[in-house]
A and B are shown apart, each in its own frame.
Chain A
């Protein structure tokens, strides 16, 4: 069964720093990988979707990369702001089994003003 791991579990950085969040998955047979943001007590907001044939996606200050063969993805956040403070989750859709996302347990990011 697909397992998704996110390291670190928590991260604190001063405002303005660039940072990288990591996601690894055990089965490289995936359709896509999606990064989400979750604020406390709220639902998930989709940030970026990378199809299995793609290497990266960019949206504003966010850049996500995918190395399917090594089972890794990174989310790069440039010039971090206090409003970026949230939990970031990555999830993959496998090519076999149920039509669902396998989620990591997330990285809780705190950007200190």
Chain B
């Protein structure tokens, strides 16, 4: 079974702190994604990466950065956390095979609260 793990299930931080969210997948997938999920807004893509050291902006990249130094690990960084970044953060991975994408597999999520 594909396993996607996230470093924390719950996280509480203060405004202005630098926050790191870590995601690790064990299936050698090329593609990794960070989403945030908010009530009424659904899931929105923040960043994704299709290879080591490669990254692409999603729909809402402002206030976030990412790092992918190793294939299995994709980090989301909040440079200076703000209260409007309080949300559920979900990491996912998938593999590109030929003309279609395989399934996206999600981690358990990190519920971040910024005070």
Chain B interface main SS type: strand
A 33-58 to B, binary, CB cutoff 8 A, 1 in contact else 0: 01010000111111001011000000
A41 touches B50 (CB 8 A): no
With A42-B108, A43-B90, A43-B106 given, is the CB distance from A100 to B58 under 8 Å? Answer: yes
Residues of B in contact, count (CB < 8 Å):
27
A89 to B33, CA, bound (A): 17
B 86-107 to A, binary, CB cutoff 8 A, 1 in contact else 0: 0010101000100111111111
Residue among B58, B90, B104 with most chain A CB within 10 A? B104
Count of A-B contacts judged by CB separation below 8 Å: 60
Chain B residue at minimum C-beta to C-beta distance from A53: B100
Chain A interface main SS type: strand
Range of interface residues on A (Cβ < 8 Å)? 20 to 34
Residues of B near A49 (CB, < 8 A) are 102-103
Query: 8 additional contacts, CB 8 Å, given A42-B108, A101-B43, A103-B42?
Result: A41-B111, A44-B106, A91-B104, A98-B48, A99-B50, A99-B101, A105-B40, A105-B42
Q: Could you name 25 residue pairs across A and B whose Cβ atoms are closer than 8 Å?
A: A36-B106, A41-B88, A41-B109, A42-B109, A43-B90, A43-B108, A44-B90, A45-B106, A46-B105, A46-B106, A49-B102, A52-B100, A89-B42, A93-B101, A98-B45, A98-B59, A99-B31, A99-B48, A99-B50, A99-B96, A99-B101, A100-B33, A103-B42, A104-B42, A105-B42
